[in-house]
């Protein structure tokens, strides 16, 4: 493997999304990631959509890994697993707290038998606290972590963010912790345990909502509207919608000129940000009355040329046709699909091979031969 993590060996006991996303990032950076799956495979191998006989969902988050299927309750497979542990630098798992102990590979056992091994754990609520044993899925954490109280149309009910925000976010928090532990261990320090909770990750991404709630201004669902600046919203056009982001007076002045209403900057209702927030419904109606006369493409070009931050509201088909993403190697081909590339761009490091996800137990013979198990 090439890349800055070449020579690092990771045992990946994770499944579905949060953990596999974390270990995929490590593989993209050159780590050798051996996916240790139960005999039936990672649950996500059975998720739609499919390409041929394989799950495109699984393939999208497990590129660059090797696979071996092991039953960690069977003595023969445990012996194989322990040979892998002897060589590994990192073990990543996303079992519920306590499962590793039941398998006989709890933190104390690992620290005693394999003292240089970094144990990285991802769970719903963390390894400590009264909720540590609760089951968790992305949607549950979006609900319990407060984000569903912020998401949706104004006056509407709870809404899920349209992607698995918590799964991806917690995986993104875990792998930098692993890198930090690796750097520290190479300096001679003992191996650490790294752990991330999905709930903690969601709370860390709440931005200013927590402060506003404590300042007596509890945030509410606002649709696409931003709570502290106006106009910052999605506005309907003749054929779709365009987001305008005008947090600064110069942005609003430029937008008003593009819309043919430079007098808005002196209108008492819109004269400053506080006034625009107080009259945001009237301002949105005035903006949309003009923008509905022309297409999204027209307004996008006009506002961009005037220095107004803007962007069209695109669907997935639009996104997959974006030349900017193609130029950035963010749309990688994979057996009839295109999947997201790695947003980290390191000079000299090639884009990952999106079609390199392993079949179940694909590397068993090679790994047994290599590790003498």
Helices (H), the chain: 18-28, 56-60, 75-87, 99-103, 107-113, 138-144, 165-186, 198-204, 209-214, 249-258, 273-278, 280-291, 296-305, 316-320, 323-327, 364-371
CA distance 130 to 285: 49
Q: Which residues contact 127 (CB under 8 A, 6 or more apart)?
A: 97, 121, 195, 197
Q: Are 204 and 173 in contact (CB under 8 A)?
A: yes
* Catalytic-labelled residue, pool 89, 167, 200, 233: 167
CA distance 162 to 73: 38
267 classed as catalytic = no
Q: In which residue are the tokens 């005037």 written?
A: 306
3-class secondary structure, 66: strand
Q: Which two tokens stand for residue 155?
A: 């006056």
- For the chain, give the longest Cα–Cα distance: 79
What residues does 67 pair with on adjacent strands? Answer: 35
Q: Are 192 and 120 in contact (CB under 8 A)?
A: no
CA distance 245 to 358: 43
Q: For helices 18-28 and 165-186, give the axis angle rounded to 10 degrees.
A: 50
Instruction: Give catalytic residue positions.
Output: 167
């Amino acid at each position: 493997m090439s890349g800055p993590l070449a020579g690092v060996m990771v045992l990946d006991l994770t499944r579905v999304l949060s953990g596999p996303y974390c270990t995929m990032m490590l593989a993209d950076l050159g780590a050798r990631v051996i996916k240790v799956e139960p005999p039936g495979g990672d649950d996500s191998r059975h998720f739609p959509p499919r390409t041929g006989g394989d799950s495109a969902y699984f393939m999208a988050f497990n590129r660059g890994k090797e696979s071996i299927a092991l039953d960690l309750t069977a003595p023969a497979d445990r012996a194989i697993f322990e040979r892998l542990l002897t060589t590994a630098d990192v073990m990543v798992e996303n079992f519920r707290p306590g499962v590793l102990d039941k398998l006989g590979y709890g933190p104390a056992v690992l620290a005693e038998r394999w003292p240089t091994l970094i144990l990285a754990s991802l769970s719903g609520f963390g390894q400590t606290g009264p909720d540590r044993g609760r089951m968790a899925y992305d949607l549950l954490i979006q609900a319990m972590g407060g984000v569903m109280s912020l998401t949706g149309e104004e006056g509407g009910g709870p809404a899920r963010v349209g992607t698995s925000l918590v799964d991806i976010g917690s995986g993104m928090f875990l792998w930098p912790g692993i890198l930090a532990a690796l750097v520290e261990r190479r300096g001679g320090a003992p191996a650490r345990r790294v752990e991330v909770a999905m709930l903690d990750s969601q709370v860390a991404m709440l931005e200013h909502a927590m402060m506003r709630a404590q300042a007596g201004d509890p945030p509410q669902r606002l649709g696409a509207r931003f709570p502290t600046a106006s106009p910052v919203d999605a506005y309907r056009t003749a054929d779709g919608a365009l987001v305008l982001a005008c947090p600064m007076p110069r942005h609003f002045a430029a937008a008003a000129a593009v819309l043919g209403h430079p007098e808005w900057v002196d209108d008492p209702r819109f004269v400053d940000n506080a006034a625009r927030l107080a009259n945001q419904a009237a301002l949105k109606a005035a903006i949309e009355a003009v923008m509905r006369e022309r297409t999204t493409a027209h307004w996008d070009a006009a506002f961009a040329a005037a220095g107004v931050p803007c962007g069209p509201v695109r669907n997935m088909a639009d996104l997959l046709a974006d030349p900017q993403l193609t130029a950035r190697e963010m749309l990688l081909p994979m057996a009839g699909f295109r999947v997201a590339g790695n947003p980290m761009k390191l000079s000299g490091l090639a884009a990952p091979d999106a079609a390199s996800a392993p079949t179940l137990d694909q590397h068993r013979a090679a790994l047994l031969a290599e590790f003498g198990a």
